[in-house]
Structure 1
Amino acid sequence: MLIQRPAASRGHTHAGWLDSRHSFSFGHYHDPQWTGFGALRVLNEDRVAPAAGFAEHGHANMEILSWVLQGALAHRDSTGAGGVIRPGELQRMSAGHGIRHSEMNATRDAPVHFLQIWLQPDRSNREPGYAQQGFAAETLAQGWTLLAAPADDAGDSALPLHAMARVWAWRPVAAAQAVLVLRAPRAWLQVARGALLANAIALDTGDGLGLRDERRLDVRVPAAADLLLLELL
């Protein structure tokens, strides 16, 4: 089964410094038809103005990922961890039994544009933690690249994840086609940029596609694109 989520149908928060689009219910936006997809609870597309951002606040019992599309995002948290995340880098914050953090635009001259993903953790009340990892542009352009997965499945190149999910990215730079065999009963494809066909469904920038009990994902991309896929185990 294929479930389409057109970009224009998403929730929207505009706060001057923040322009955020919500694929699922979040904050003041609530749609009972869109409260999550398996372990995927939140998928926001955020644009944050220069020198602005999310001031320190708290979370618990959630795996939170940030995938930067453009600009630079500065992270600080109560474990003492911090870093600046740029395009091609994935941030994982395990909120565990409780963490406080801030996410700020690291520059004063350009917006930062990123996807924020919340996943239900595999168990509650872990120790909070933080990690980030970069992926070469050449690798991301070649085909689906595994960004994060449960520790037993992550190998040497992907971030270990405390959630039953695998996270993939693909950034084709020219006309391309790729088939990914799906090993999970659910998956979510998010089009960050570009137009494409996914299992014969036409998608454009900002669109999402839920896959339920599909055995494979066949993507055909006529031009440059930026894609994120979550396999939900």
Structure 2
Amino acid sequence: MARALYAGSGRFTTKTGDRVTRHSFSFGEHYDPANLGFGPMVCHNDDLLAAGGGYPDHPHTDLEIVTWVLSGALVHTDSSGTTRVVAPGQVQVLSAGSGVRHSELADMAAGPTRFVQVWVRPDEPGGAPAYYLDDTELPAGALVPVAGAGGLPIRTAAATLHVARLAPGDEVALPDAPLVHVFAATGAVELPGGSSGVGWSSEVETLRAGDAARLTDEPELPIRATEPTELLVWSFR
């Protein structure tokens, strides 16, 4: 069993004229050979875009690109001719396959936009690109699969993204999986503490907005919100 806590204040940060991106793993000019990914997850970016700003057209291959919008709205276009506006409460999956070009820009009408985008390596390379977008019902106080098993299809059989919107006092059990990545997008949550891993020494550990935990071979740990919280949890079986 192993646990590691990663404070949001310690993430790599890229700033341009129209966006601020906080990277959980090595990305671009930010390189750390000890922090290249977690299981098949190779990118976990938290972006804040000015209205109309973002990522113009660019290519990808052999990635499952999963996007969750927290506020504002994101305009997606890609080389298959797809154009969609992605709002909070919707999950977007772009399977790059053998090659796709896309852009992700903050909708001018919606103002500044914050979203989390994760790249996961597929089980097999190649294949035709594919795009999926779905509204997601999030019952209060529940951890809901939105991509992977039980959600939109991704080409990484072991991977699932779960999302929860929690009120203070709500408690959920984390997935029973060999690898679990927990990200407090907003609010704050508490997990049982422990002496193993990095940063886990007290009886209770708190993840505040922007903080993450990486759990390896842990049981189904309970997690409890102390503030209104939007929680993103990846499990890898």
State the TM-score bracket (shorter-chain normalisation). Answer: over 0.9
Which of 188, 191, 209 aligns to 2:184? It is 191
Q: CA deviation at 1:125?
A: 0.3
For 1:72 and 1:191, how far apart are their aligned partners in 2?
A: 20
How far 1:173 moved relative to its partner?
2.9
Q: Does the CA contact (< 8 Å) of 1:175 and 1:224 recur in 2?
A: no
What residue number does 1:7 align with?
Answer: 8
* Distance in 1 separating the partners of 2:8 and 2:175: 25
Aligned equivalents of 1:172 and 1:147: distance in 2?
Answer: 16
Name the counterpart of 1:162: 155
Cα pair 2:53 2:106 within 8 Å, conserved: yes
Q: Does residue 77 of structure 1 match 2:78?
A: yes
Letter in 2 for 1:60: T
- Moved runs in structure 1, 4+ residues, more than 6 A? none
TM-score (norm 2): 0.91
Amino acid at match of 1:51: G
Gaps of 5+ in 1: none
User: What is the percentage of aligned positions where both structures have the same residue?
Assistant: 33
Cα distance in structure 1, aligned partners of 2:51 and 2:167? 28
Q: Deviations over 1:117-159 (max 9, x none)?
A: 000111100210100111135x2x231001011xxx43xxx21
Report Cα offsets for 1:94-124 as digits up to 9, x if no partner: 0000000011111246210000100011110
Distance 1:74 1:173 in 2: 29
Structure-1 separation of matches of 2:56 and 2:165? 31
Instruction: Determine if contact 1:20/1:47 at 8 Å carries over to the other structure.
Output: yes
Per-residue CA distance 1:22-71 (angstroms, 9 max, x = gap): 00011111112211001110000000111112110000000001100000
Q: Report the equivalent of 1:148.
A: 147
Deviation at 1:11, TM superposition (A): 0.2
Aligned residue for 1:159, secondary structure, equals coil
Name the TM-score, length of structure 1 as normaliser.
Answer: 0.92
Structure 2: runs of 5 or more not aligned: 193-203
Instruction: Name the SS of the counterpart of 1:160 in structure 2.
Output: coil
Residues matched between the structures, number:
224
CA distance in structure 2 between the aligned counterparts of 1:147 and 1:89, rounded to whole angstroms = 9
Residue 205 (structure 1) aligns with: 209
Matching residue of 1:177:
171
